[in-house]
């Protein structure tokens, strides 16, 4: 039976005999994408810890924290029995209310997802930093689907000399190409079909990757032709800086896209060579 810990003290006591630890931080509502991270973590360490915590710091005023699904029992059914689950109540991580000390994501944290969700990345980095100090893993595993998050976590670990290896698993997709996300459950039947435009737009960008202009034109054309998709952004960024590349750039890029399909906001990305 899966061991569940609600307090920092009980988890740390259990980890004293756990050997090497790989950590998978989540907000629950688990799906096959999360399970791929758990399988990867099991390859990297003796013990896998999965956190399930809906972090209030990364929800803005315009976002519905209460709407985010909380399904602990269903999540536990999906996880292997030998995984340790850290599922603290909010007041265990924030006993004095919202933390007065925050990790800042800097300028990159205010772009792309940070533009649409102000303060989101500060809240994300703050809770990840707290969880890394609590769990003290040798390795932490994230998914490439959240490319901007991965970039910022890697930079935080490097800048703050956090003694952990960041391992990244490729985006897990359904057979039709849609990136797995906890938000996909909010899509209606026709909206789910329309949502495939995101992955198709990224594929079109790669197929036209002779130049930045051509790649972006191909992706915008495809997205604009799909009714029911409201585009937030499409861009090509340098994986080393997460800043947009110039028109004469040649080299590796991460193509990123965000769009609203119905009332559901989705993101996706794809890495390839430009030029």
pLDDT of residue 66: 76
pTM of the model: 0.96
- pLDDT at residue 224, rounded to an integer: 95
CATH 3.30.1300.10 domain range(s) in the chain: 182-269
Tell how far CA 33 is from the center of its chain. Answer: 10
Q: Quick one: pLDDT at residue 98?
A: 85
Label the pairing between strands 84-86 and 3-5. parallel
Q: How far apart are CA 112 and CA 10, in angstroms?
A: 38
CATH tag for 3-169 (out of 3.40.50.300, 3.90.1150.10, 3.40.50.620, 3.30.360.10): 3.40.50.620
Residue span(s) of the chain under CATH 3.40.50.620 come to: 3-169
pLDDT at 203: 98
Annotated catalytic residue, options 31, 34, 120, 220: 34
Q: Classify domain 182-269 by CATH number.
A: 3.30.1300.10
* Residue 34: active-site member: yes
pLDDT in the model for residue 257: 98
pLDDT value for 100: 87
Residue 62's pLDDT is 62
Low-confidence ranges of the chain (pLDDT < 50): none
């Amino acid at each position: 039976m899966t061991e569940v810990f609600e307090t920092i003290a009980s988890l740390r006591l259990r980890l004293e005999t756990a050997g090497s630890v790989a950590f998978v931080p989540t907000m629950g509502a688990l799906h096959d994408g999360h399970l791929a991270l758990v399988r990867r973590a099991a390859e990297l360490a003796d013990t896998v810890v999965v956190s399930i915590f809906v972090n209030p710091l990364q929800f803005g005023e315009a976002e519905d924290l209460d709407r985010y699904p909380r399904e602990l029992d269903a999540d536990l059914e999906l996880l292997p029995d030998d995984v340790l689950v850290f599922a603290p109540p909010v007041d265990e991580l924030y006993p004095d209310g919202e933390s007065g000390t925050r990790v800042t994501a800097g300028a990159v944290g205010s772009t792309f997802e940070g533009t649409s969700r102000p303060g989101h990345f500060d809240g994300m980095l703050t809770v990840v930093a707290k969880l890394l100090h609590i769990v003290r893993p040798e390795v932490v595993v994230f998914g490439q689907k959240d490319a901007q998050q991965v970039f910022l976590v890697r930079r935080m670990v490097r800048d703050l000399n956090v003694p952990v290896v960041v391992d990244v698993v490729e985006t897990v997709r359904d057979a039709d190409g849609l990136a797995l996300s906890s938000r996909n459950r909010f899509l209606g039947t026709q909206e789910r079909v329309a949502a495939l435009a995101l992955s198709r737009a990224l594929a079109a960008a790669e197929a036209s990757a002779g130049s930045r202009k051509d790649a972006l034109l191909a992706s915008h054309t495809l997205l604009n032709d799909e009714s029911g998709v409201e585009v937030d952004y499409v861009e090509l960024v340098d994986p080393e800086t997460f800043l947009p590349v110039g028109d004469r750039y040649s080299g590796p890029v991460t193509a990123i896209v965000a769009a609203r399909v119905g009332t559901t906001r989705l993101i996706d990305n794809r890495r390839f060579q430009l030029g």
